[in-house]
Amino acid sequence: MPIDYAARQAKLRQIAGADAVALVPGANMFYFTGLEFHLSERPVIAIVTPDDGLSFIIPQLEMPKLHQRPDLEARAFAWSDTDGYDGAFRQAVDELGLRGKTLGVDGLTMRVTEWLEFQRIDGSMRVNAVERQIINILAHKSAEEVESMRRAVKLSEVALDRLLAWVQPGMTERQIANKLSEEMTAAGSQGIAFEPLVQTGPNSALPHGMLTERVLARDEFLLIDYGGKSDGYPADITRTFCIGTPTPEMQKIYDTVRAANEAAIRVSGPGVAMGTVDKAARDVIEAAGYGAYFIHRTGHGLGLNGHEMIPQIAAGVTDRLEPGMAFTIEPGIYVPGLGGVRIEDNVVVTETGLDVLTTFTKDRFTL
């Protein structure tokens, strides 16, 4: 079924506190128009106005992409490298009636450079950061989007399976990550969602650590956080392993994180407060005596942007889960010096419960 971009843009017109919405290249522009551009020093801006539909301020050299999409019925304010973009901005501001108006933007992606250009044309224009409202639209996934996410998860799991048949002590984190990226591509991923995070031994105690040249040893943690992509939608999966024999404490940490992950999955569903999901995981970890070592939220929204701010699976959040919301469930325990365990699944709220996209077994801790 072709995507109804006009219907998606119509939702932008309902955003409160903005007379028009402006989008820069990236996931939001892709979602609302299907068009992809590099975010570069050449500004490209999609503007959704109440009366004038969809317009683009766009470099001349990008016009072929717009010509290929007559369905968008988009108006173009094109500019050339020779003339610069002042004229195109001025024309757009005048012809779209933006003087003195408030432009809604995603404050996380719109750059100061685009905004200053609007200000230069008309100092009475205002900006309003409406990213929560924009992401709230993206947060409600259609059945087709969910199937894209399921494909991304599936191919990522195939890649992890192949990696585990290959990985050995003596390999570096970077070698393992590179191999995993290759396996994702081989399994049909469109590039990768992000560089795989492979953390060995004590390095796994840093939730947002970096890849290093550390060599994997036997009997220690091997934490892998990674994801492929399908139709632009990412997977974001974590599994933790031990090649050899874990100590009783390592086993206890693994079993506790697994129980926390499963408790959060069990409690999730439509109408459930986001903080309740976090609490379900946190209670398990606290009861096992590791509360001080669970140092991040339980999960984040997942979509075209990668991490998305809705839903936010964190302590005290009273907003409720709604059908179509996709997110991660990723409790962890991080013990400095020893290492850490995280188990991350990708899930989608349905009308009646929860669709768990990840299927990779959690029984496979020791290899």
Interaction site with Co ion (CB under 5 A): 225, 236, 328, 344
Nearer residue to Co ion within complex by CB, 49 or 204: 204
Q: Name the 3-class secondary structure at 304.
A: coil
Nearer residue to Co ion within complex by CB, 262 or 344: 344
Question: What's the closest the beta carbon of residue 349 comes to Co ion, in angstroms?
Answer: 17
Question: What's the closest the beta carbon of residue 225 comes to Co ion, in angstroms?
Answer: 4
The torsion angles phi and psi of 76, rounded to 5 degrees, stand at -115, 130
Q: Biggest alpha carbon distance in the chain?
A: 70
Nearer residue to Co ion within complex by CB, 114 or 308: 308
Distance CA 147, CA 288 (A): 37
Question: What's the closest the beta carbon of residue 236 comes to Co ion, in angstroms?
Answer: 4
Residue among 16, 35, 20, 6 nearest 304 (CA): 35
Distance CA 343, CA 251 (A): 14
Residue 17, burial from CB neighbour count under 10 angstroms (0-12, 13-18, 19+): exposed
Nearer residue to Co ion within complex by CB, 44 or 177: 177
Nearer residue to Co ion within complex by CB, 20 or 237: 237
Question: What's the closest the beta carbon of residue 195 comes to Co ion, in angstroms?
Answer: 11
Contact 231, 144 (CB under 8 A): no
Question: What's the closest the beta carbon of residue 197 comes to Co ion, in angstroms?
Answer: 7
Half-sphere exposure of 59 (CA within 13 A, CB side): 14
Question: What's the closest the beta carbon of residue 88 comes to Co ion, in angstroms?
Answer: 39
Question: What is the β-pairing status of strands 332-335 and 345-349?
Answer: unpaired
Q: Is the peptide bond before 311 cis (omega within 30 degrees of 0)?
A: yes
Nearer residue to Co ion within complex by CB, 19 or 225: 225
Contact 331, 343 (CB under 8 A): yes
Nearer residue to Co ion within complex by CB, 220 or 225: 225
Question: What's the closest the beta carbon of residue 346 comes to Co ion, in angstroms?
Answer: 9
Question: What's the closest the beta carbon of residue 301 comes to Co ion, in angstroms?
Answer: 10
Report the Cα 123 to chain-centroid distance in Å: 34
DSSP per-residue codes, 168-188: -TT-BHHHHHHHHHHHHHHTT
Nearer residue to Co ion within complex by CB, 308 or 344: 344
Nearer residue to Co ion within complex by CB, 256 or 328: 328
Question: What's the closest the beta carbon of residue 299 comes to Co ion, in angstroms?
Answer: 7
Residue among 235, 164, 145, 154 nearest 187 (CA): 154
Distance CA 61, CA 69 (A): 15
Report the Cα 223 to chain-centroid distance in Å: 20
Q: State both tokens at 160.
A: 């992890």
